[in-house]
Amino acid sequence: MAAVEILDIFPHKGTYPPGEEATIWVHGHCPGPAPFRGTIRLQVTFLADRVHEVEADLSLPPGGSEWVSVALPLPPTDGRGYGVDGVVTDEEGRVVARTSTAVDVLSRWTMAPRYGFLSDFPPDRADVVSTIEGLARYHINGLQFYDWMYRHEDLLADQETYQDPLGRWLSRQTVRAFIEAAHRRNIAAMAYTAVYGASVGFGQAHPDWALYDAQGRIIPFGQDFLSIMNPAPDSPWTDYLIAQFVEAMHKMGFDGIHLDQYGDPKAGFDAQGRPVEIAQAFHAFIRRARERLVAVRPEAAVVFNAVGNWPIEDVAQAPQDFLYIEVWPPHTRYYDLWSLIVNARRLGEGKPVVLAVYIPPSQPHNVRLADAVIFASGGFHIELGEQGKMLADPYFPNYQPVPKGLAGVLRRYYDFVVRYENLLALETEDVTEEEAGSITIEGVEVTHKGDRDRVWVMVRRGAGVEVIHLINLVGLPTSEWSEALPAGPSPLEGVRVRCYTDRRPRRVWLASPDFADVQARPLPYRVDRDERGSYVTFTVPRLDYWDLIAIECAR
């Protein structure tokens, strides 16, 4: 039998608009002494159902490898994720290799924001294209350009090459090259800015624009690093900074603005000594920025950082495209990640939620569990960026390299998030804790609040489907994502689940990003009844970190 290996497979864009044909890149390798000639068949699936398939010839030289591009038509339905499963057969029709990836169809990337980051923009950077290509492998569809600007109050330098406030040499040409490379992959470029930060000299030159403390001093940030300006609607600073946003979008080609704050101050005074309600000022600033930016570019996106979840009540319903929360103590438990997402989605009336949770890649078990919790909760995690790097610190340039093993795990997790996004976030609604309590597991303690040494059960209900997430916390010494885990949870086998439901099941299936094959696999089940009501039972063959079970119900 002819031997062949599939070294990689991924779509050439982060996401696709409705009606566009996808291109799937396949990297094949022939280790044998004879050339390989055969066929690769790509099957498109929506959840557990086959949609259609295409075939393409695959020819590989002996001992060599080739990249092959396959045109893949996609259904035009907006807001859907699909699995793409590849089967390679030789000239005799024998299956010699299998592989998989995922694609989604979104009219706006912010419908399912798989947010990444860039933070290095030196002159003559040589790996711009390969960096963006690497992020496309993880289906990243939006990038935060962190600290790309000349100054906080003067975003664009007059020169092509300039130094930022910390002395790093940056290049407008490199920033533009990254934006153009991202656009070729249908990845949005978001310009990071601080909503009220300015250099100390600027604050001294514009005292009427600044924010003051109770002693009448301009509020500082850092040791002589920045002055805090007044972001209220009637402050001249607001119109000045928003004009900078418009100029940056015009001259650089950004697709939107990522607004940052520092968590403090939470109160202040204007130059006349009048109190400034900072939380309300943020809401108004977001609204003003969006009005100005969409007048320039209707598809422009605006996002605001709710540092430490503050002030989420005031900004959740502001006209931003998704909610972004930088997670800080006391939100140190895995349960807090779930709670932040669910609460923000409720306040934001269903807006997607991105969490910035800084877990170094040297803690792979924490990374894996945090991603499982965030994704199962219907959220997204900004963590990937630069060339094979991961966020490990709130100052993004302090990123760290991702070990090869963790990189492979994250590829599966991000494929999984795209493939099943319609169950994870877009078409489901949260159920009550009482309803979640209708799930029991034989011989295993269950938790609905992320307690350690238990299986965490999350239940979500959508039209015609009930989704059960099992997060394995068995054997863990802590329920804190901020404490390094020496090992992962204890794997469980033959997990027998009972689920009480008032709906009649027609099919039960399982999928997990911890399996080598992330395709949906059917589960045999039984329907019975006792004094509590009707229930369905089934056995999950294995639980490592995260399993997803879908109970499809008769309508």
* CA pseudo-torsion sign 302, 305, 310, 316: positive
Look at residues 170, 208, 326 and name the one whose alpha carbon lies nearest to residue 259.
326
Q: Looking at residue 96, which CATH number applies to its domain? A: 2.60.40.10
Establish if 410 belongs to a structural domain: yes
First-to-last C-alpha distance (Å) of the chain: 47
Q: Residue 427's pLDDT is what?
A: 44
Q: Which residue has the tokens 């610190």?
A: 393
Pseudo-torsion of CA 233, 237, 239, 241, nearest 10°? -120
- My answer on whether 484 and 518 are in the same domain is yes
Q: Are 82 and 63 in contact (CB under 8 A)?
A: no
E-only strand ranges, 61-150: 65-72, 80-90, 95-105, 115-118, 142-145
Residue 122 pLDDT > 80: yes
Q: What percent of the chain has pLDDT over 70?
A: 97
DSSP for residue 92: T
- My answer on whether 149 and 168 are in the same domain is yes
Q: Rounded to whole angstroms, how far apart are CA atoms 28 and 404? A: 20
Sheet hosting strand 226-228, strand order edge to edge: 197-199, 226-228, 220-221
Establish if 475 belongs to a structural domain: yes
* CA pseudo-torsion sign 372, 374, 380, 381: negative
- My answer on whether 391 and 445 are in the same domain is no
DSSP for residue 67: E
pLDDT band at 32, cuts 50/70/90?
confident
- My answer on whether 493 and 435 are in the same domain is yes
Task: Give the model confidence (pLDDT) of 456-499 as tens digits.
Answer: 999 888 888 999 999 999 999 999 999 999 999 999 999 999 99
For residues 509-522, one letter each, b for 16 or more C-beta atoms within 10 angstroms of the residue's C-beta and e for the rest, the string is bbbbbbbeebebee
φ/ψ of 455, rounded to 5, equals: -95, 125
Domain boundary among 81, 105, 129: 105
Establish if 25 belongs to a structural domain: yes
pLDDT band at 554, cuts 50/70/90?
confident
Task: Give the model confidence (pLDDT) of 141-165 as tens digits.
Answer: 999 999 999 999 999 999 999 999 9
Helix axes 172-184, 236-252, angle to 10 degrees: 70
* CA pseudo-torsion sign 350, 351, 357, 363: positive
Residue 16 pLDDT > 80: yes
Task: Give the model confidence (pLDDT) of 339-371 as tens digits.
Answer: 999 999 999 999 999 999 999 999 999 999 999
* Rg of the Cα atoms in the chain: 25
Q: Residue 437's pLDDT is what?
A: 62
- My answer on whether 435 and 406 are in the same domain is no
Establish if 472 belongs to a structural domain: yes
Establish if 243 belongs to a structural domain: yes
Q: Are 193 and 145 in contact (CB under 8 A)?
A: no
The residue-averaged pLDDT of 392-421 equals 97
Q: Looking at residue 467, which CATH number applies to its domain? A: 2.60.40.1180
For residues 24-33, one letter each, b for 16 or more C-beta atoms within 10 angstroms of the residue's C-beta and e for the rest, the string is bbbebbbeee
Establish if 44 belongs to a structural domain: yes
Look at residues 26, 30, 29, 96 and name the one whose alpha carbon lies nearest to residue 56.
26
Q: For the chain, what percentages of helix, strand and coil (3-state, to nearest 5) are there?
A: 25, 35, 40
Q: Which residue has the tokens 């996002």?
A: 303
- My answer on whether 61 and 27 are in the same domain is yes
Task: Give the model confidence (pLDDT) of 424-450 as tens digits.
Answer: 974 444 555 555 568 899 999 999 899
Q: Which residue has the tokens 């001992």?
A: 63
Residue 171 pLDDT > 70: yes
- My answer on whether 366 and 471 are in the same domain is no
User: Whole-model pTM?
Assistant: 0.96
Residue 238 pLDDT > 70: yes
Residue 17 pLDDT > 60: yes
- One DSSP character per residue, 207-260 reads GGGB-B-TTS-BPEETTTTEEEB--STTSHHHHHHHHHHHHHHHHH---EEEEE
Domain boundary among 426, 458, 475: 426
Which parts of 78-194 fold into alpha helices (H)?
Answer: 128-136, 172-184
The residue-averaged pLDDT of 378-405 equals 97
DSSP for residue 63: T
- My answer on whether 89 and 173 are in the same domain is no
Domain boundary among 426, 447, 462: 426
The residue-averaged pLDDT of 312-318 equals 97
Q: Residue 374's pLDDT is what?
A: 98
How far is the CA of 508 from the CAs of 75, 463, 550, in angstroms?
25, 15, 6
Q: Are 458 and 377 in contact (CB under 8 A)?
A: yes
- My answer on whether 238 and 310 are in the same domain is yes
The total of other beta-carbon atoms located within 10 Å of residue 388's CB is 17
- My answer on whether 442 and 508 are in the same domain is yes
* Tally of domains within the chain: 3
Establish if 23 belongs to a structural domain: yes
Q: Rounded to whole angstroms, how far apart are CA atoms 172 and 162? A: 8
Residue 314 pLDDT > 90: yes
Residue 555 pLDDT > 80: no
DSSP for residue 396: G
What is the domain extent for residue 61? Answer: 5-105
- My answer on whether 154 and 233 are in the same domain is yes
- My answer on whether 361 and 489 are in the same domain is no
Q: Are 172 and 48 in contact (CB under 8 A)?
A: no
Q: Are 100 and 83 in contact (CB under 8 A)?
A: yes
Task: Give the model confidence (pLDDT) of 185-200 as tens digits.
Answer: 999 999 999 999 999 9
Establish if 110 belongs to a structural domain: no
pLDDT band at 550, cuts 50/70/90?
very high
Q: Residue 433's pLDDT is what?
A: 54
